[in-house]
């Protein structure tokens, strides 16, 4: 299929799958809660408004879920996709960067959800996830968290139920009565009823994924896609021993070891100078756009609300993630990343905003053909938000080139 035809198909997919951000939008509900009665209550952050969050994730994802992998770890996971699993069993696992959230992938999901299955997870200490201790953002912990979520969700039973639930019709936006409660309701064994911000599924996944032999629980192949810090987490997860037969591809978005390590002093300065408090969402949107994180106001209105929490005293907005507290882990996130990315035989794609960001190891690896390189020089660091169509097209092209799951190509590509 020609590049121009693929682009036309993506444009049509985007036009048909991204609803306008109005209160008449609807969201698909997820599977019924099946949590363990012994699960403890885990308080969730209070984000700006129920309406805002509903309109954010519903623009690209079909459902949201709570995935409980242990008593201390409950992750907010978003799912998109309706394609039959016999056409495209591979699941794209989307991992966000430090201080961001799963909603940074919303527009990419909107482009691909008619063609592929995608899950995006709020990492520990981010977005609407509650996992303790929250300050433990070490690479080892983040990789373990991601692998636990992948084992819990990337299987025929979980994906199939999410699709059936979405196709059955979903929940509506919050009513006026429900809007009075702007909390992301407590994650507990009890079923909550807030359709915009509560879990649409709470699953106890503490048991080993290999403990059942049911065909409906068959594990699905996965393609890891990570942005910034998420690229490092995705790289280490994809090459973990438990993913030896399941990982089919690896994509890093705007992450290079040398550049990341050199940027650490600038990150300290940036964090010390950024606002500590915003008076309202509009102020937060404008600040993010002014600093090109992301460049587009329309993208910022989707991703920024999940980065903030409301102060109960005065309603002002502060940062959800304490990045300053994570400084002991910054260097460990990136040291040895280039060699780790180049290691192994997985098909790999690196998407960058410019070739000047390649370090020595990656430059050598690119000359040796160890990975595919896509450049988007017109974008800032948040490439997936600045150019979601380009990212979606790159992922489809990557899929086409390597036939990542060995299955027939998705309908969008079979022409």
Active site residues: 228, 254, 381
Q: How many other CB atoms are found less than 10 A from the CB of residue 91?
A: 28
Angle of CA points 161, 165, 169, to nearest 5° = 165
C-alpha 50/C-alpha 194 separation (Å) is 9
Residue 191 per-residue DSSP state: P
C-alpha 20/C-alpha 257 separation (Å) is 38
Please answer whether residues 277 and 317 qualify as being in contact, where contact means their C-beta atoms are separated by less than 8 angstroms. Answer: yes
C-alpha 366/C-alpha 350 separation (Å) is 10
Q: Calculate Rg over the CA atoms of the chain.
A: 20
- Phi, psi at 383, each rounded to 5°: -60, -40
C-alpha 262/C-alpha 144 separation (Å) is 26
C-alpha 320/C-alpha 310 separation (Å) is 9
């Amino acid at each position: 299929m020609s590049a121009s035809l693929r682009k036309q198909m993506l444009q049509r997919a985007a036009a048909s799958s991204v609803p306008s951000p109005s209160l008449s939008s609807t969201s698909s509900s997820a599977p019924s809660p099946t949590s363990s009665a012994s699960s403890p209550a885990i308080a969730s952050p209070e984000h700006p408004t129920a309406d805002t969050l509903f309109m954010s994730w519903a623009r690209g994802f079909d459902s949201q879920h709570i995935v409980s992998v242990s008593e201390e770890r409950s992750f907010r996971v978003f799912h998109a996709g309706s394609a039959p699993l016999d056409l495209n069993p591979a699941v794209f696992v989307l991992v966000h960067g430090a201080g961001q959230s799963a909603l940074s992938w919303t527009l990419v999901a909107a482009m691909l959800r008619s063609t592929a299955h995608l899950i995006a997870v709020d990492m520990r200490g981010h977005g609407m996830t509650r996992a303790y201790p929250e300050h433990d953002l070490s690479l080892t912990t983040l990789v373990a968290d991601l692998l636990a979520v992948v084992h819990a969700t990337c299987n025929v039973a979980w994906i199939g139920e999410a699709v059936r639930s979405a196709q059955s019709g979903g929940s509506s936006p919050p009513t006026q009565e429900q809007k009075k409660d702007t909390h992301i309701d407590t994650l507990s064994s009890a079923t909550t009823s807030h359709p915009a911000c509560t879990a649409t599924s709470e699953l106890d996944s503490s048991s080993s994924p290999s403990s059942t032999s049911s065909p409906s629980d068959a594990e699905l192949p996965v393609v890891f896609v990570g942005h910034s810090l998420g690229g490092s987490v995705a790289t280490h997860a994809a090459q973990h021993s438990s993913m030896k037969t399941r990982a089919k591809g690896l994509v890093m978005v705007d992450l290079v070891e040398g550049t990341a390590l050199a940027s650490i002093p600038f990150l300290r300065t940036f964090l010390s100078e950024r606002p500590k408090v915003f008076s309202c969402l509009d102020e937060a949107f404008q600040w993010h756009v002014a600093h090109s994180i992301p460049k587009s106001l329309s993208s910022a209105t989707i991703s920024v609300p999940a980065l903030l929490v409301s102060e109960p005293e005065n309603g002002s907005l502060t940062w959800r993630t304490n990045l300053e507290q994570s400084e002991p882990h910054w260097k460990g996130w990136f040291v040895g990343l280039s060699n780790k990315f180049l290691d192994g035989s997985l098909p790999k794609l690196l998407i960058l905003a410019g070739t000047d960001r390649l370090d020595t190891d990656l430059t050598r690896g690119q000359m040796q053909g160890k990975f595919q390189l896509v450049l988007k020089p017109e974008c800032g660091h948040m490439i997936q938000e600045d150019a979601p169509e380009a990212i979606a097209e790159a992922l489809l092209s990557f899929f086409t080139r390597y036939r990542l799951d060995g299955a027939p190509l998705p309908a969008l590509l079979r022409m």
